[in-house]
Structure 1
């Protein structure tokens, strides 16, 4: 910063040909201007001005240095302008980690691209628990309550987990009437990619009763596979409502144990905590917050 101030003082003296006038424009004394020029000359080991009681003129070396100094200050001014504009207009690369729920977010992200063409989306779809800061993500969308104190969060909305099966499966295998009946059915299960554990189904069991050891007829780590197999009549699946609403409305799937198997979960968008979030992150947070679950906002 001292060098930068020296450049500014030097250019001002060169343009006004006066220590007094330069000091007046910079808001410092003529003595301070003189000391700044002297320090710069000492650092460069060259004389920049010819001084007399009547005038201040550039030396040959000073004229050369003035040209370079103006270029440097112009570059700094351009950089400041660019950063100032960036702080107002969302732009640049935006690296986002999202869960494997393309049907929920892809239409909204398409709208986001249209609304913010200067933002370059770099999307990573995964259900694993990523380290937002260590892995360099600008934001992540995940289910459940935030656990990392280093992150800011905004709730995007809530959804319900439910058990579903096709009419053909229920006609062939029967419709469960209690959670215990699931022990005799084909269950399409989900495995968490981080822990390797199977998802616990949202069953309302009597207090003190242990979790049911449900059959594991098929295990996978995404929604699409379980939904596809459920539609084909291969078994009962536990799925989020937004992934099955269309199939339920069309009669391709039927809810199983609607009063005994239900749980509400939440989607959040998380980003590294900062006093001033970047415009591109703010734009994404606000956009997803108003469109992913519009009924919740």
Structure 2
């Protein structure tokens, strides 16, 4: 236990870059922290910190040792949590990062909040590549494949692009029968907020991609305005199918050229691999996987 105490003092000091801050966290004096780390260095026969009058910084050996100590404490925490939470109901704060299109996930998120009222949701909407671990997120919802070995991941669903317009629009404009006919239509485009580039429409004929110069009637860096404009009969938009499934089911929007789109995407939930899957995180992952892309049934007439 003395060894664990010294390791804990080392980790707190390394993360805070301060013996004084580590001492405040542990409720002991700075000298006690300094002595514990000195004894640890003597036992290991290695210097863990570079010390100055203003700050402490890790040596290369200290940085290596810190990562191993973090894994040790994560295992201890996981063991304790697993025992303590076997019968515990999901509760507490859940900090989740979502893409800017995450507002369109709100029906599923609000359903989760109603199902688990003791879980406090803290949502952060951003298209930037957040650092899940360093920024303290419990989970991150993102599209595409993820290559970070520090993270666990679960596929929660796939989506397909769909070209949509309102019935009123197609009453006044000829319904396109081929992708080439789109060049004579009002086209509503999405611009990626992170790059400023227009999102291409993945058009194809007989499986071969098509490069068509489409009119740019309107451009938006968010999907919600494009959905609204399409509903108001202002043009055709290319959108992920899950974002307009309610409008399609209700007949407010109509899909066209369904056989001429070749791209699909996926949504995944990621969380730190070193973190125990707590009840609140487990039910969130399961709920999103079960409900995010569940089909919407047309309303009964």
Specify the TM-score bucket, using the shorter chain as the normaliser: 0.5 to 0.7
What does residue 32 of structure 2 align with?
none
CA change 1:151–1:174 in 2 (3 A) is: same
1:210 Cα shift? 5.8
1:272 counterpart = 2:272: yes
1:94 counterpart = 2:91: no
CA change 1:81–1:134 in 2 (3 A) is: closer
- 1:118-133 counterparts in 2 under 5 A? 118-133=118-133
1:95 Cα shift? 0.7
What does residue 240 of structure 1 align with?
240
CA contact (8 A) 2:161 2:241 kept: yes
What does residue 84 of structure 2 align with?
85
The separation in 2 between residues aligned to 1:268 and 1:260, in whole angstroms, is 26
1:103 Cα shift? 6.7
1:223 counterpart = 2:223: yes
1:194 Cα shift? 1.4
Question: What SS class does the counterpart of residue 204 from structure 2 fall into?
Answer: coil
TM-score by length of 1: 0.64
The separation in 1 between residues aligned to 2:149 and 2:273, in whole angstroms, is 8
What does residue 64 of structure 1 align with?
none
What does residue 75 of structure 1 align with?
none
Question: What SS class does the counterpart of residue 230 from structure 1 fall into?
Answer: helix
What does residue 162 of structure 2 align with?
162
CA contact (8 A) 2:203 2:209 kept: no
CA change 1:275–1:110 in 2 (3 A) is: closer
Question: What SS class does the counterpart of residue 263 from structure 1 fall into?
Answer: coil
What does residue 287 of structure 1 align with?
287
1:261 counterpart = 2:261: yes
Measured on the aligned residues, the alpha-carbon RMSD in Å equals 3.0
Moved more, 95-104 or 144-153: 95-104
Q: How many residues align?
A: 221
The separation in 1 between residues aligned to 2:95 and 2:277, in whole angstroms, is 14
Question: What SS class does the counterpart of residue 160 from structure 2 fall into?
Answer: strand
CA change 1:105–1:219 in 2 (3 A) is: same
1:241 Cα shift? 1.7
1:125 Cα shift? 2.6
1:130 Cα shift? 2.7
Q: Name structure 2 gaps, 5 residues minimum.
A: 6-78, 296-301
CA contact (8 A) 1:103 1:243 kept: no
1:278 Cα shift? 3.3
TM-score by length of 2: 0.63
The separation in 1 between residues aligned to 2:82 and 2:259, in whole angstroms, is 55
1:146 Cα shift? 2.2
